[in-house]
Amino acid sequence: MLLGGLWRLNERYTWMSMREMSVNAANWVLEERYWDVFPSQCLRFWPLFIRKSQDTAAFLERTNPVLAETRMTGIGSFVTDIKLLSPRMVVEWKGEVWCISKEGRMWNVADGNFGLELKIPFKPLWRVLASSVVGEDERLLPGGVFPSIFSTDAIDDFLKGLGNAPWFDGVEEVALNRRAGNDLFILRYVREGQKFTILIQRNKYGWQELNLELGHILNRFRREDGDCLIDATYEDKIVVRNLPTSTGEGSSE
């Protein structure tokens, strides 16, 4: 009743009209998209925009890789900030490739860049083989942009430990699986045409120790040595062997 009464008053008096509305967007494309869905009825009655701004932000965030937030800067005055999400990694899962942002949202890479300048890190490509890192809502994936269904705790720990290693730039793919109740990382590392498959289990080595050991092993091999498997899934040793054609998965411990 209160809003209804105020609306009727506004039909006679313009004091409830929106005084100012500005948009701080990452680029003109996003600003244009915002105005395309802006609830114009709020121009005459600004209190309505307090609720409508949330609906508008939610729509933009579902249809674009952005975060949108509106704040009130004065009576009848508003500012909306629209920021691009920050792509963090790409994940292959169930035959599709997904981009996951630092803000914890995801979208299908097949949808393109939404007409925006997004710098998606396609290397390394993560392959999710372990169902334990996928949330319960994985069967109900909506379209557009939505909260990530992946738990990235294991990936975060891995990148913190090895992501800054001098040799890590050569890693093209990382598959995350489980073995005997522990995370198993399977890395595909390429150097001047020479291919390495590296198997790592987090509970077998500390990251610093493993980083040094792997760097030492990789520096020992030359291109003419052929493709190799480096198996760091044992507790007391790292096994290295040639790979003529196919790759095994190392120890079963």
Distance CA 18, CA 30 (A): 22
Mean per-residue pLDDT over the chain, rounded: 84
With a pLDDT cut of 70, the percent of the chain lying above it is 84
How far lies 11's CA from each of 5, 6, 128, in Å? 10, 9, 58
Domains contained in the chain, number: 2
> Do 91 and 74 fall within a single domain?
no
Residue 253 lies in a domain: no
Domain final residue, candidates 36, 55, 84:
84
Residue 129's pLDDT is 78
Entry pTM: 0.79
156 Cβ partners below 8 Å, 6+ apart?
none
> Do 61 and 23 fall within a single domain?
yes
Per-residue tokens: 11: 């039909």
Distance CA 199, CA 190 (A): 14
Helices 2-12 + 47-63 axis angle, to 10: 100
Q: Is the pLDDT of residue 244 over 90?
A: no
Confidence grade of residue 137 (pLDDT, cut at 50, 70, 90): low
Q: Determine the structural domain holding residue 216 and report its residue range.
A: 87-242
For residues 118-130, give the mean pLDDT: 87
Distance CA 207, CA 192 (A): 26
For residues 225-243, give the mean pLDDT: 86
> Do 66 and 105 fall within a single domain?
no
